[in-house]
């Protein structure tokens, strides 16, 4: 067969040569240890935690090695494309502070970064394969292919287009010309020289040595519309875009032999691969993959809408990505996570267990270490976007809400409080500070008469100017007058001698003023809401008890 002739018939539109592309995309001028990484999402509009997980690893690896992190859009499947999906990727990852050095919508010297715009490049190299006898057109219909699959299943053979089943492998040039002139649609297949009996070992950056079989399938490299499959586009793009390390989900290990084979047949040096573990969760005691359908926490919008701080989510993901990160984080909770020495070799080999409780825990620590102003502006942005009806009330006076945040975080005290998990939860905590939202359902621990007496006595001595100590001394006096122990020790030694403990007395005032039993320092809360409001709330509670 005259392969050159076949190549000219199939690719009469191709005018460029491999040399043109070698010149267009020269090797990157980077230090030897620099890693070039990328994420390559399909524009389906759903960008999930798994994408962020991989992107975070890519970004860290590129940044720490003075390399490049870029965005390529794998839009070869027109059916799955969603308008605005690329903006959504940039928005979502931007929210988490991940910035690309180059890529779709950003630009760079290795573009276009949308695969659909790179058709000429793929076709030029597909033509090369045809010229070398390594690719051929296949006219098989869907029906023919499924008939073959059935036979293979019956025979308990590997399914797919291989060996004796690869009907179009040996078509003559005349037959091909005839079919084309008849307008028969065709795909372009690889003529795989591989033998599935041959095993070889491959070194994955995360999984270590993996033994795989050679690929013997004549896989499709260009679809009927001339657009490449993932396999072919991956190899061409990662070569010409100069990727040095492909970080992708472990679901791609199964087709890795195809990719390695394509690199070899095209004469390209292959990048390193790091196949990341799936994100798992425990569901009813069983470990399973996070799923788009069942787990809202897989979507990045979930974290954004609940107002998880991006640093908290990233910090949590880092604990899943690098086994030694948590130890570092606990020892350095105030350091930016960019200072951690991320390493591919410390990435987990088996399913990373996603646990929202742990995320909450980390989030508390991350937020407690932030500046009050940063927490304030983060919260403000969240309210604007997700609770805009409350914005005018909460942000009517910024100094007021800032005081609340400072108190809730215990800014200025030796040990910060860890009250805050996410903006939505913060929002829920702040209700009692605002007259408009204060709707208490009083739950007093002591009987009505005693509760009322406590409140009456307190209101008689209350003075907004009191500092914490004076304030508390007044509460202690009331406690002791009414037969409550002032010292916990005394109460514990002899509980029957007392009506209770000073904390019980303070709780009555707390419930009257805030409606809840657990708050930061009550004296300061009363200072924040002001004298009139404090007095009014206590009076309302007394009324309620009368």
Of the pair 251, 373, the CB lying nearest ligand GLU is at 251
Residue among 74 and 205 whose Cβ is closer to ligand GLU:
74
Nearer to ligand GLU, 234 or 510 (CB): 234
Candidate segments 39-47, 134-142, 355-363, 407-415, binder of ligand GLU by CB under 6 A: 39-47
Identify which of residues 40 and 227 has a Cβ nearer to ligand GLU in the complex: 40
Smallest gap, in angstroms, from Cβ of residue 74 to ligand GLU? 4
Burial readout 270-302 (b: 16 or more C-beta within 10 A, e: otherwise)? bbebbbbbbbbbeeeeeeebbeeeebebbbbee
Cα 186 to chain centroid distance, Å, stands at 40
CB of 41 to ligand GLU, least distance (A): 5
Stretch that binds ligand GLU, among 37-45, 274-282, 360-368, 514-522 (CB under 6 A): 37-45
Is residue 229 a contact residue for ligand GLU (CB under 6 A)? Answer: no
Q: By CB under 6 A, is residue 364 in contact with ligand GLU?
A: no
* Residue 19: CB atoms within 10 Å: 8
Nearer to ligand GLU (CB atom), residue 103 or residue 500: 103
Contacts (Cβ under 8 Å, ≥6 apart) of 130: 3, 6, 7, 10, 11, 136, 188
Which residue has the CB atom at the shortest distance from ligand GLU?
A: 248
| Cα 472 to Cα 487: distance, rounded to the nearest angstrom | 13
CB of 435 to ligand GLU, least distance (A): 51
CB nearer to ligand GLU: give 40 or 190: 40
Q: Report whether 314 contacts 337 (CB < 8 A).
A: yes
Q: Which stretch binds ligand GLU (CB under 6 A): 38-46, 122-130, 260-268, 445-453?
A: 38-46
Output 221 or 450, the one with its CB closest to ligand GLU. Answer: 221
Verify binding: residue 234, ligand GLU, rule CB under 6 A. yes
Q: What distance in Å separates the CA atoms of residue 512 and residue 506, rounded to the nearest whole number? A: 10
Q: Which helix or strand (DSSP H or E) is residue 206 part of?
A: none
> Closer to ligand GLU at the Cβ: 42 or 229?
42
* Nearest distance from C-beta of residue 95 to ligand GLU, angstroms: 19
Question: Smallest gap, in angstroms, from Cβ of residue 380 to ligand GLU?
Answer: 35
Question: Judged by CB under 6 A, does residue 40 bind ligand GLU?
Answer: yes
Distances (CA, A) of 275 to 282, 341, 364, 418: 22, 20, 31, 36
- Considering beta carbons, is residue 41 or 515 the nearer one to ligand GLU? 41
Measured distance CA(381)–CA(386) in Å, rounded: 9
Our CB check for ligand GLU shows the closer of 252 and 395 to be 252
Indicate which single residue of 42, 319, 322, 514 sits in contact with ligand GLU (rule: CB under 6 A): 42
Per CB under 6 A, the list member of 74, 75, 205, 250 interacting with ligand GLU is 74
Tokens 């975080």 label which residue? 409
Q: Does 248 bind ligand GLU (CB under 6 A)?
A: yes
Do 146 and 184 meet the contact criterion of CB atoms below 8 Å apart?
no
Among 10, 37, 41, 240, binds ligand GLU (CB under 6 A): 41
Nearest distance, CB of residue 258 and ligand GLU, angstroms: 12
Question: Closest approach of Cβ 36 to ligand GLU, in Å?
Answer: 13
Cβ 163 to ligand GLU shortest distance, Å: 28
Identify which range of 36-44, 164-172, 203-211, 522-530 contacts ligand GLU by CB under 6 A: 36-44
Smallest separation (angstroms) from ligand GLU to the CB of 247: 7
| Residues composing the chain | 546
Report in angstroms how near the CB of residue 67 gets to ligand GLU at its nearest.
16
Candidates 40-48, 146-154, 203-211, 456-464 — which segment interacts with ligand GLU by CB under 6 A?
Answer: 40-48
Within 268-287, which residues bind ligand GLU (CB under 6 A)?
Answer: none
| Cα–Cα distance for residue pair 327/46, rounded to 1 Å | 33
Smaller CB separation from ligand GLU, 243 or 453: 243
Cis peptide before 112 (omega within 30 of 0): yes
Is residue 304 a contact residue for ligand GLU (CB under 6 A)?
no
Q: Biggest alpha carbon distance in the chain? A: 110
DSSP 439-502: ------SS-HHHHHHHHHHHHHH--TT--HHHHHHHHHHHHHHTTEESSHHHHHH-GGGSSEEH
> Closest distance between ligand GLU and the C-beta of residue 80, in Å?
10
- Residue 43 interacting with ligand GLU (CB under 6 A): no
Q: Which is nearer to ligand GLU, 42 or 519 (CB)?
A: 42
CB of 257 to ligand GLU, least distance (A): 15
Q: Which helix (H) or strand (E) holds 425?
A: helix 423-429
Spatial contact of 118 and 15, defined as CB atoms under 8 Å apart: no
Residues touching ligand GLU: how many (CB under 6 A)?
Answer: 7
Q: Are 25 and 110 in contact (CB under 8 A)?
A: yes
Residue pair 271/245 in contact (Cβ under 8 Å)? The answer is yes
**513 burial type by CB count under 10 A (0-12 exposed, 13-18 middle, 19+ buried):** buried
Answer for the pair 263, 235: CB distance below 8 angstroms, yes or no: yes
Q: How far is the CB of 346 from ligand GLU (least distance, A)?
A: 21
191: buried, middle or exposed (CB in 10 Å: 19+, 13-18, 0-12)?
A: middle
Positions that interact with ligand GLU (CB under 6 A): 40-42, 74, 234, 246, 248
């Amino acid at each position: 067969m005259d392969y050159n002739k076949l190549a000219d018939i199939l690719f009469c539109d191709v005018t460029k040569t491999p040399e043109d592309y070698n010149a267009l995309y020269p090797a990157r001028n980077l230090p030897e240890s620099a890693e070039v990484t990328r994420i390559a999402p399909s524009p389906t509009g759903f960008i999930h935690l798994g994408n962020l997980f991989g992107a975070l690893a890519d970004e860290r690896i590129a940044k720490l090695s003075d390399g490049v992190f870029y965005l390529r859009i794998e839009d070869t499947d027109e059916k799955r494309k969603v308008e605005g999906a690329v903006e959504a990727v940039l928005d979502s990852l931007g929210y988490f502070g991940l910035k690309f050095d180059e890529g779709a919508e950003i630009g760079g010297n290795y573009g276009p970064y949308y695969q659909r715009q790179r058709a000429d490049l793929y076709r030029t190299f597909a033509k090369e394969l045809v010229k070398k006898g390594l690719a051929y057109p296949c006219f098989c219909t869907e029906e023919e292919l499924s008939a073959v699959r059935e036979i293979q299943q019956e025979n308990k053979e590997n399914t797919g287009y291989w060996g004796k089943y690869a009907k179009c492998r040996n078509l003559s040039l005349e037959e091909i010309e005839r079919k084309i002139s008849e307008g028969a649609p065709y795909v372009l297949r690889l003529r795989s020289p591989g033998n599935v009996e041959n095993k070889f070992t491959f070194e994955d950056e995360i999984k270590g040595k993996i033994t795989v079989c050679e690929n013997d399938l004549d896989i499709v490299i260009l679809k009927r519309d001339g657009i490449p499959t993932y396999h072919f586009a991956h190899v061409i793009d990662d070569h010409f875009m100069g990727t040095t390390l492909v970080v992708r989900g472990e679901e791609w290990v199964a087709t890795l032999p195809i990719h390695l084979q394509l690199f070899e047949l095209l004469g390209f040096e292959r990048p390193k691969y790091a196949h990341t573990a799936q994100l798992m969760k425990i569901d009813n005691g069983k470990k399973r993959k996070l799923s788009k359908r069942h787990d809202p926490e897989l979507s990045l919008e979930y974290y954004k809408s609940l107002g998880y701080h991006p640093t908290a989510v990233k910090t949590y993901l880092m604990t899943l990505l690098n086994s030694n990160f948590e130890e570092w984080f606990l020892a350095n909770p105030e350091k930016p996570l960019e200072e951690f020495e991320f390493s591919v070799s410390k990435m987990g080999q088996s399913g990373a267990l996603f646990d929202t409780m742990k995320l909450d825990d980390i989030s508390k620590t991350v937020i407690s270490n932030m500046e009050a102003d940063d927490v304030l502006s983060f919260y403000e942005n969240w309210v604007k976007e997700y609770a805009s009806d409350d914005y005018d009330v909460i942000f009517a006076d910024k100094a007021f809400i800032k005081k609340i945040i400072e108190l809730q975080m215990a800014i200025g005290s030796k040990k910060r409080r860890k009250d805050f998990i996410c903006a939505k939860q913060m929002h829920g905590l702040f209700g009692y500070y605002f007259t408009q939202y204060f709707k208490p359902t009083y739950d007093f621990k002591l009987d009505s008469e005693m509760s009322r007496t406590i409140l009456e006595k307190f209101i008689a001595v209350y003075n907004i100017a009191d500092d914490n100590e004076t304030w508390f001394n007044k509460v202690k006096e009331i406690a002791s007058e009414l037969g409550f122990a002032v010292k916990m020790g005394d109460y514990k030694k002899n509980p029957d001698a007392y009506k209770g403990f000073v904390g019980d007395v303070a709780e009555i005032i707390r419930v009257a003023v805030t409606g809840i039993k657990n708050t930061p320092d009550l004296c300061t809360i009363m200072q924040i809401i002001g004298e009139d409001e404090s007095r009014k709330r206590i009076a309302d509670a007394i009324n309620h008890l009368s």
